Structure 1
Amino acid sequence: MAEGKDLLQVLWSGADVLRGKMDANEYKTYLLGLVFYKYLSDSYLSKVYDLLNDAKPESLEEAQTAYEEIMESEDAEELLEELKESLHYTLDPDMTYVSILKDAKNNAFNREKLQAAFNRIEESDELFHGLFADVDLYSNRLGTGDQKQSATIAEVIKVLDDADLIHTEGDVLGNAYEYLIGQFASETGKKAGEFYTPHGPAQILCRIAMTGQENKKGLQVYDPCMGSGSLMLSCRNYSTEPDFIKYYGQELMPSTYNLARMNMFLHGVLPENQHLRNGDTLDADWPTDEETEFDAVTMNPPYSANWSAAEGFKQDERFMDYGGKLAPKSKADYAFLLHGFYHLKQTGTMAIVLPHGVLFRGAAEGSIRKTLLENGSIYAVIGLPSNMFYNTSIPTCIIVLKKHREGRDVLFIDASKLFEKEKKQNVMKEEHIDHVLELYNNRKTVEKEAYLASYDDIVANDFNLNIPRYVDTTEEEEEIDLKALTQSMRETDKQIKEENAALVGMMKELTFQDDATKEAVEAFIRVLEEV
């Protein structure tokens, strides 16, 4: 049985099969898609066996045999109805991972059968529509010609056989999937920004968003730029009722949207608690007809992205209360912030990662920021270390927002030095994350680390929230000991003279083939003797 690190090693071995054939941004789709298919198939066989024998199977092969036998009997139809109701999908016996693996081991792998399994799952329920659309089993990336392409997929299927996805304890599978997503993010670099928030910022965001709401049953989490869904899913770690959390997320990129859907299932989120959508967050508001305000809003939107900033948005409820100003066309940062804030409950907390420019840029952004501060909406600003994110090396900040609170003070935290350098990225360790949360929860001024600014402080700074205006992290320079410095200079001067004299002595012993060279060296000696 592959659990914990073993499971990670097995899954990562699947990546090794594909690594030489295409870049990480492409092969992540194959590996994560096939892992998800194996999970659905293995869960399906396990459920079949449980319905027939009221027990978990010793092996999937045992469950496969039981399934094949019952499908030949008159009870087949009743079983399929029960499976469809509980799992939302069905598979024929020859569509299971076990069946396709057997073919792969016997050199009889058939891509059509695997494609038929994908199609069956996608057509079973709206939940699964288009889920495997990016897993192109006929791509030239897999190799040249049918045989090589089939062999590549068959090899991945064989490698993944070692991953026992059914007997894994707790959240092992979800965490393994999360680990894979993180590994792909670090390999894909710039492209990773669209689907992954690194561990440190993610944990700070989620812990802040969950503060005071840890025991709420039926908590609703919203991320309108959800990527792989990792931020929303991280909120589970800080809830005493994780199985009752409802997730509302939107994502623009179809392949990333599919990744988020898979991620939800692999973390054991029930279908009725998943409310995910593929769409453009700024272009049209969502959600509008069901739950529209949420307890926790977590966001890591694309930084300083372009958007239309069309005049019509001035009448959009999300943006209309900010002095008739819209986020600039070339910097959608405040459009994302206001969208998320609009969907925040009166009692909730929102945390968003943005570039530092939002703290001090003027014009329309300055006007929006001023309105937010006048309303007491900005609760805290946390400066993160630079080079934390895969798609940019710039330093970023977390802005925490609340609605209708008493007071208009703002807590500033400078966490820019709380990191360890690792390979390409700076990484925040658990002690760094804990320290930021300690500063956040204490909400007090701490020299060189945090400053609780009154509203008058903010006004005095002309509504500029640039962190160094509030948290002074400069170190006093040590006093210079002039006596010691003078002595050091004398010793250095004496050493230079001694070295020059030695060099002159050696040069005077040189012999020359022509007068021009001799004159040049003698001139150089005179310069040295003058020093």
Structure 2
Amino acid sequence: MSEDQKKQLEAQLWGIANLLRGKISADDYRDYILGFIFYKYLSEKQHLYANHLLVGEDITEYRELTDEELLNAIREESLIKLGYFLEPRDLFSEVTRRGLENDYILEDLQRILNHVEQSTMGTESEDDFNALFEDLDLNSTKIGRTVKARNEIIVRILDYLNKIDFKLEEIESDVLGDAYEYLISKFAAGAGKSAGEFYTPQQVSKILAKVVTTDKDKIKSVYDPTCGSGSLLLRVAKEATVGEFFGQELNRTTYNLARMNMILHDVHFRQFDIQQDDSLESPQHLEQRFEAVVANPPFSAHWKGAANPLFETDERFSQYGKLAPKTKADYAFVQHMIYHLADNGIMACVLPHGVLFRGAAEGVIRQYLIKELNYLDAVIGLPANIFYGTSIPTCILVLKKCRKVDDNIVFIDASGEGHYIKSGNQNTLRDEDVEMIVDTYRNRQTIDKYSYVASLDEIAENDYNLNIPRYVDTFEEEEPVDLNQVAGEIKEIDREMKEVNEEIASFCNELNISTPF
């Protein structure tokens, strides 16, 4: 599929928003639009796979199949291959057809969505499909006050989507997945503060992904403890072949979105394990170690661990001597991720600038990370106003347990003018800005007013304060002032003022009024 065709698909999918915009809030119609796109995707995958299985049979079109024995065989194969099963009458196109024939389809549609989940019970894919459509409330008065109104709007959405050809049998690349990701970013752009819960800007994701895949074209496993919609995990797969994806997400709706996103990007259900819970207080992958860890945790979040004595003996936090403060969980997330990092792994996470210089418990943890563990590999400063929902400047910390160059830390200041562009209300990194950051990190370069390779001794001399301006001097000297030229300009201004005053006085005399000076 060409770039033009991809953009056309994105525009078509985004066009569904026009059916709902003004009727319900963006947060609500996001769930309906993404949910129904996912249902259509599952339906088309089922249709294509079933037709493949029917090659050589008397009936080769799945929609026409009624033979129970063949249906059962397709069900068994589908659960193994796809992880779910849809009957011919439950295909997206068939439901849409019934809706357009003025049938009431809401109950039927709800049954089908429930059946997708129920079909997986007792199988390997059960956890990945459980309650996947729970945010699609077809009886919500938000989409219509009456049953008839709700039915009509749902039929309109299905009809609109049914006319879009996903071309799944033709697409070798991840075009539909990318289009889905595009929709998520569009919703994030209009979601205000809640955007950070489910989406990391694509260019920031690209930096993290490129950093953790440095010198690698294959990654055994990647993990994100605050995975949101899963965009960071999927971005890593664009830089290297990933064996397995692991993630955890607190928000239930976003957790469902992450699982849909994985499946839509054609990640097999056996290749991902996304869990829903608080990563710090109820970690779901505690016994596992990962080759790559990426994250954009909630900035300076509150957490209960600081007030719980049990966390002082928790293996993730105990060796540092201090727990992260209860009003700033930033370092708690860092400690959690380090615990999960394999010895040959790389970790990159986005954090607020305060982690670089705040004292008290955070200062103790920071010093231990650098002085005792020597895990910190790089500090990358990003422009302000680059994230949806917040304008604060942020940074990326890169950490490795086995550092090749273990006597210095690379500091990069990518926050200055010329290293990003303004895009509406947001600042945006260009591809060349991303490449410069990544190349500077990988080559460990000192570049005037942009980066500096600091020795560990220098870090110690600064009391382990990592504030970037301490290491990267971005001061721009002002051009020297020619005082003789300035004096001449002042004299010229004075002469012009006298002429203006004389002209005003002349006008005042003609009008027989006093002058204002």
Asked whether the two chains share a fold, i.e. TM above 0.5, the reply is yes
Instruction: Using the TM superposition, give the Cα deviation of residue 314 of structure 1 relative to its aligned residue in structure 2, in angstroms.
Output: 0.8
Cα RMSD after superposing both structures? 1.8
AA at the equivalent of 1:483: N
2:70 is the alignment partner of 1:75: yes
The residue number in structure 1 matching 2:224 is: 223
AA at the equivalent of 1:410: I
> Secondary structure, in 3 states, of the residue corresponding to 1:397?
strand
The residue number in structure 1 matching 2:82 is: 87
The residue number in structure 1 matching 2:294 is: 298
Pick from 5, 24, 37: which aligns with 2:7? 5
The residue number in structure 1 matching 2:47 is: 45
2:289 is the alignment partner of 1:287: no
Matched ranges for 1:501-520 at <5 A: 501-510=502-511
CA distance in 2, matches of 1:471, 1:262: 42
The residue number in structure 2 matching 1:190 is: 193
AA at the equivalent of 1:71: T
Does the CA-based 8 Å contact 1:307-1:331 persist in structure 2? Answer: yes
AA at the equivalent of 1:32: L
> Secondary structure, in 3 states, of the residue corresponding to 1:458?
helix
TM-score (norm 2): 0.93
The residue number in structure 2 matching 1:355 is: 352
Larger radius of gyration: 1
Does the CA-based 8 Å contact 1:340-1:350 persist in structure 2? Answer: yes
The one-character-per-residue Cα deviations of 1:155-180 (angstroms, maximum 9, x if unpaired) are 11111112222233410011001100
Does the CA-based 8 Å contact 2:352-2:395 persist in structure 1? Answer: yes
Does the CA-based 8 Å contact 1:333-1:354 persist in structure 2? Answer: yes
CA distance in 1, matches of 2:68, 2:275: 40
> Secondary structure, in 3 states, of the residue corresponding to 1:108?
coil
CA distance in 2, matches of 1:193, 1:445: 32
Matched ranges for 1:111-150 at <5 A: 111-125=106-120, 126=126, 127-150=128-151
CA distance in 2, matches of 1:407, 1:12: 48
CA distance in 2, matches of 1:183, 1:428: 17
The residue number in structure 1 matching 2:123 is: none
2:414 is the alignment partner of 1:415: yes
The residue number in structure 1 matching 2:177 is: 174
CA distance in 2, matches of 1:133, 1:312: 35
The one-character-per-residue Cα deviations of 1:392-437 (angstroms, maximum 9, x if unpaired) are 1000000000113352411100000211101111110101001111
Instruction: Using the TM superposition, give the Cα deviation of residue 3 of structure 1 relative to its aligned residue in structure 2, in angstroms.
Output: 4.3
1:466 and 1:78, CA in 2 relative to 1: closer, same or farther beyond 3 A? same
The one-character-per-residue Cα deviations of 1:17-52 (angstroms, maximum 9, x if unpaired) are 111112222111100000000000111111111100
The residue number in structure 2 matching 1:404 is: 402
Matched ranges for 1:294-443 at <5 A: 294-308=290-304, 309=306, 310-323=308-321, 325-374=322-371, 375-405=373-403, 407-417=406-416, 418-443=419-444
2:479 is the alignment partner of 1:478: yes
> Secondary structure, in 3 states, of the residue corresponding to 2:216?
coil
The residue number in structure 2 matching 1:21 is: 23
Instruction: Using the TM superposition, give the Cα deviation of residue 191 of structure 1 relative to its aligned residue in structure 2, in angstroms.
Output: 0.8
AA at the equivalent of 2:330: D
The one-character-per-residue Cα deviations of 1:209-233 (angstroms, maximum 9, x if unpaired) are 11122234xx200000000000010
Instruction: Using the TM superposition, give the Cα deviation of residue 79 of structure 1 relative to its aligned residue in structure 2, in angstroms.
Output: 2.7
> Secondary structure, in 3 states, of the residue corresponding to 2:45?
helix
Instruction: Using the TM superposition, give the Cα deviation of residue 53 of structure 1 relative to its aligned residue in structure 2, in angstroms.
Output: 1.6
Does the CA-based 8 Å contact 1:377-1:408 persist in structure 2? Answer: no
Does the CA-based 8 Å contact 1:25-1:191 persist in structure 2? Answer: no
1:322 and 1:148, CA in 2 relative to 1: closer, same or farther beyond 3 A? same
Instruction: Using the TM superposition, give the Cα deviation of residue 190 of structure 1 relative to its aligned residue in structure 2, in angstroms.
Output: 1.2
CA distance in 2, matches of 1:508, 1:330: 72
2:459 is the alignment partner of 1:458: yes
Worse overlay, 463-472 or 116-125: 116-125
> Identity of paired residues, percent?
44
The one-character-per-residue Cα deviations of 1:66-117 (angstroms, maximum 9, x if unpaired) are 2243324543322322223322222232211011110222222410111011
Does the CA-based 8 Å contact 1:373-1:408 persist in structure 2? Answer: no
CA distance in 2, matches of 1:3, 1:98: 22
Does the CA-based 8 Å contact 2:296-2:350 persist in structure 1? Answer: yes
Instruction: Using the TM superposition, give the Cα deviation of residue 439 of structure 1 relative to its aligned residue in structure 2, in angstroms.
Output: 0.9
1:260 and 1:54, CA in 2 relative to 1: closer, same or farther beyond 3 A? farther
AA at the equivalent of 2:62: Y
Instruction: Using the TM superposition, give the Cα deviation of residue 14 of structure 1 relative to its aligned residue in structure 2, in angstroms.
Output: 1.1
CA distance in 2, matches of 1:86, 1:112: 28
Does the CA-based 8 Å contact 2:286-2:340 persist in structure 1? Answer: no
TM-score (norm 1): 0.91
2:100 is the alignment partner of 1:105: yes
Q: Which runs of 5+ in 2 are unaligned?
A: 121-125
CA distance in 2, matches of 1:504, 1:88: 91
> Secondary structure, in 3 states, of the residue corresponding to 1:71?
coil
- How many residue pairs align between the two structures? 500
> Secondary structure, in 3 states, of the residue corresponding to 1:53?
coil
Does the CA-based 8 Å contact 1:414-1:467 persist in structure 2? Answer: yes
1:74 and 1:380, CA in 2 relative to 1: closer, same or farther beyond 3 A? closer
> Secondary structure, in 3 states, of the residue corresponding to 1:237?
coil
Does the CA-based 8 Å contact 2:64-2:88 persist in structure 1? Answer: no
Does the CA-based 8 Å contact 2:196-2:388 persist in structure 1? Answer: yes
> Secondary structure, in 3 states, of the residue corresponding to 1:249?
strand
Does the CA-based 8 Å contact 2:320-2:368 persist in structure 1? Answer: yes
Worse overlay, 440-449 or 76-85: 76-85
> Secondary structure, in 3 states, of the residue corresponding to 2:237?
helix
